[in-house]
Structure 1
Amino acid sequence: MPEPLITDLPMSAGPAGLEVLPRLERALAGQGPVRPHDPSVTPQPLPRHDGELPSDLAVVVGTSGSTGTPKLAMLGAQALAASAAATHDRLGGPGQWLLALPPHHVAGLQVLLRSIHAGTRPVVTDPSLTPFALVQAVAAMDGERRYASLVPAQLGQMVEDPMGLEALSRLDAVLVGGAATPPPVAQRARDAGVRIVLTYGMSETCGGCVYDGRALSGLDVRVSDRGTLELGGPCVAYGYLGEPELTAEYFVTDAGARWFRTDDVGSVDERGKVSVTGRADDLINSGGLKVAPRLVEEAALAHVPAITGAIAVGVPHERWGEGVALLVTTSPGGPPVGSVPEGGVAQIREMLRAHLPAHALPQVVRVTSKLPTLGPGKPDRRAAAQVLG
């Protein structure tokens, strides 16, 4: 049997993105896998892949590159079908989807693939979402059940506007993923009657696979000896295209199931509730004590009124080896762009003292006009560390 030929598939954001639906349908039907990419960027040549490609390979999708060079996860048609079916089952049934994300990233791509699976046509709006554009898009949806997928930054913008909140409340579910959602943003949406579903997943698991701390049907979650999460089940990728060593490092078959070894620190309680603390390589080592940046960020957003966005990283500290530094955005009237003076940092530490251990309190705070991101809303900690330098 001839090896399937992977072809590049430029996928535009906005309504033009719907033009690729027939090609995606053919890929799912076994008529040749595709590599989605941003049409404004010339893609790198596909890596050489020794050995046979999976027979049902449908899509190779780029990872976010949060641990270095982006890789191409090999997703089979069966894995994508299992992911779509489990998602619709969890949400209450198949429905019509709103695409407000870049379609070449896995979260946006999955909106199109779930639509194909459900036999519905998605409504598309530009990723630079505005409340008015959201109102128009939701009004154009005519499905019996209506869903959307957003990143936290988009949700944060919508909850600041009554028009955006009202439009979101008309949907049967709003998946939010790609990065951690600030608790105050999530609570504000829920208080307004928006059914948000906080998701966890990655390209290697066909996107979100844990919803509100509960694994989708068919997925298993366990904790490795090093405290990181491992995800197993039918939605797991075959591995990385042209990367046999990384595939062997991160993917394993156990009792007939494929497992993906993540670098995310987390836990699974006796009831099966999954909690994610952050990436193992993001942990800050302050005086021998580990600090999870995500917990510092959530505390800052919840308890420092002027802070509207935050990225925590480790910076060199003479006594403790590493100290906690915060790169933040602020509301109008808050501290201006630049380093926060020592007195201001002391005030922020006092606001956080009741919510964080002493070793997790920030030593340095700097205000920026925009936080650096990777992909659709994921914090770029390397870039933040360079700014905090």
Structure 2
Amino acid sequence: MGKIILPHQSYAFDDIKGGNWAESEPYFADSLRFCQDWLCGQTSFELKTSGSTGTPKTIRVQRTQMEVSARATLGFFQIAAHARLLCCLNTAMVAGKMMLVRGMLWDADIYLVNPTADPFSDNKLPQRFDFVAMVPLQVETCLNNPKGLQKLQGIKHLLIGGAGLSPTLFDKIKEQKLNAYQSFGMTETVSHFALAKIEGENLLYRTLPGVKIGTDDSGKLWVKAPMAIEPLLQTNDLVEMVDEDSFFWKGRADFTINSGGVKIQPEILESQIQPYIQSVIGEISFFIGGKDDARLGQKTVLVLETDQISDSQTESLLSLFQRNIPKYQLPKEIFCLREFVRTSSGKINRVKTLEKTL
């Protein structure tokens, strides 16, 4: 029989059904109440969308959808019985809730910790885990300290989601030979419906069992998945289909910049310029956006999460861009902001952040 292990207490699943969490720390109390509802047979649950591309909203999903998702992940990774899981994601969001659901359905031991940047700060955690899901920031933090790296190397299957990987983090994961996968999904598909092993030069996403995919006339991905809230879900993701079960992701159609009739995919350009930004400024958050322009319709701009950069840094950046980036893609302006607007799950809200540059 599986159990949930908190920093100072553990509960067998059977004991959770009749538990009272009034005196527990709020985060753990909320997590245990969700488990209680699940174990007592609740048939539907409310999930919050991240709001990374629009207004956050609450949607209702059925228990069966969450079960299908958890079992598809189990089948993909072939997780053994009596597995050991670490839940270090915010359980108010779908990714954290699904870690709890997986543990309960798989009859696993779930180690539940606060969703901080360093999930392994608790010295009492085991050395090895069978399955762990993290956001890129957590992986980056762990890779940059010896204890965290050792723990990462002890994870049999590492799932990374919530945001894209920077080229630097992508290379670090490969260098350490972690068995890591980037997830692809959304709240509406109850977590991921495709996964890409972090290896090679580009991420090749493969669908979970039972998922069907294709593209519309504009190259945007559609999904038919048993775990989705709709029979057919049309996304705004531009993809390159490899076969009926796999694809390369190219970017978001709603982020596409139309500059003088030339369409620019910010995510692709960001990947190209990341090494230059790192060499001149260091490791900072940034993104490419489009702003209204009287002549071009939209112009490409670079937004950096920093108070300011020097004139020499600006000159160095522009020089590197001009030598390595096609002229029509060059950022026409550089903006510096002390702090980006982020969603509750940690993603950069590009629309609201770009509004701060007005």
2:292–2:298 Cα contact (<8 Å) kept: yes
Give the secondary structure class of the aligned counterpart of 2:170: helix
Using the TM superposition, give the Cα deviation of residue 339 of structure 1 relative to its aligned residue in structure 2, in angstroms. Answer: 6.0
Alignment partner, residue 201 of structure 1:
185
In 2, distance between residues paired with 1:271 and 1:353?
39
* 1:316-327 equivalences in 2 (<5 Å): 316-327=292-303
Query: Does residue 280 in structure 1 map to residue 253 in structure 2?
Result: yes
Aligned-partner SS, 1:107: helix
Which residue is 2:316 aligned to?
347
Equivalent runs, 1:303-342 vs 2, <5 Å: 303-304=276-277, 305=279, 306-329=282-305, 337-338=307-308, 341=311
1:134 deviation in Å? 6.1
1:271 Cα deviation (Å)?
6.7
Q: From the superposition, tell whether residues 132 and 60 of structure 1 become closer, same or farther in structure 2 (CA, over 3 Å).
A: closer
* Distance across 2 between alignment mates of 1:360 and 1:135: 48
Shift of 1:114: 0.6
Shift of 1:172: 0.7
Overall identity of the aligned pairs, in %: 22
Change in 2 beyond 3 A, CA 1:164/1:97: same
Specify the SS of the correspondent of 2:69.
Answer: helix
AA at the equivalent of 1:338: Q
Please name the residue that 1:189 is paired with: 173
2:316 equivalent to 1:373: no
Distance change (3 Å), C-alpha of 1:379 and 1:224 = same
What TM-score does the superposition give when structure 1 sets the normalisation length?
0.75
Instruction: Give the letter for the 2:136 counterpart.
Output: P
The residue aligned with 2:36 is: 22
Secondary structure of 2:356's match? helix
Distance 1:371 1:129 in 2: 17
CA distance in 1, matches of 2:126, 2:213: 34
- Asked if 1:170 corresponds to 2:154, the answer is yes
8 Å contact from structure 2 (residues 53, 351) kept in 1: no
| Cα distance, 1:369–1:284 mapped onto 2, change above 3 Å | same
Q: Deviations over 1:90-149 (max 9, x none)?
A: 22315322111110111111100111110123112221232651664344x6xxx62111
Change in 2 beyond 3 A, CA 1:24/1:156: same
The match for 2:267 is 294
Deviation for aligned residue 1:349: 3.5
CA distance change for structure 1 residues 194 and 113 in 2, over 3 Å: closer, same or farther?
Answer: same
Question: Secondary structure in 2 aligned to 1:23?
Answer: helix
- Specify whether residues 344 and 388 from structure 1 end up closer, same or farther in structure 2 by C-alpha distance, changes over 3 A only: farther
State yes or no: 1:268 paired with 2:232: no
CA distance in 1, matches of 2:160, 2:293: 35
Q: Residue 358 and residue 163 in structure 1: after superposition, are their counterparts in 2 closer, same or farther (change >3 A)?
A: farther
Ranges in structure 2 where 5+ consecutive residues have no aligned partner: 1-21, 197-204
* Cα pair distance change 1:350/1:171, threshold 3 Å: same
Check whether the contact 2:119–2:138 (CA below 8 A) recurs between aligned residues: no
SS in 2 for 1:109: helix
Measure, in 2, the Cα distance between the counterparts of 1:150 and 1:175. 6
CA 1:286/1:114 → structure 2, altered by over 3 Å: closer, same or farther?
Answer: same
Contact 1:345 1:362 in 2 (8 A): no
Matches within 5 A, 1:3-152: 12-13=26-27, 17-26=31-40, 29=41, 31=42, 33=43, 58-94=44-80, 95-130=83-118, 132-133=120-121, 136-139=124-127, 146-152=130-136
**Are residues 1:384 and 2:357 paired?**
no
Instruction: Give the 3 Å change call, closer, same or farther, for CA 148–70 of structure 1 in structure 2.
Output: same
C-alpha displacement at 1:12, in angstroms? 4.8
Residues 239-278 of structure 1 correspond to what in structure 2 (within 5 A)? 251=230, 258-270=231-243, 272-278=245-251
SS of aligned partner of 1:388? coil
User: What is the Cα deviation at residue 340 of structure 1?
Assistant: 5.9
The verdict on how the C-alpha distance between 1:106 and 1:378 changes in structure 2, with shifts beyond 3 A counting, is same
1:384 CA drift (Å):
1.9
Corresponding residue for residue 201 of structure 2: none
Code of the residue aligned with 1:193 in structure 2: it is: K
For the structure 1 residues 365 and 159, does the alpha-carbon distance in structure 2 shift closer, same or farther, using more than 3 Å as the test?
farther
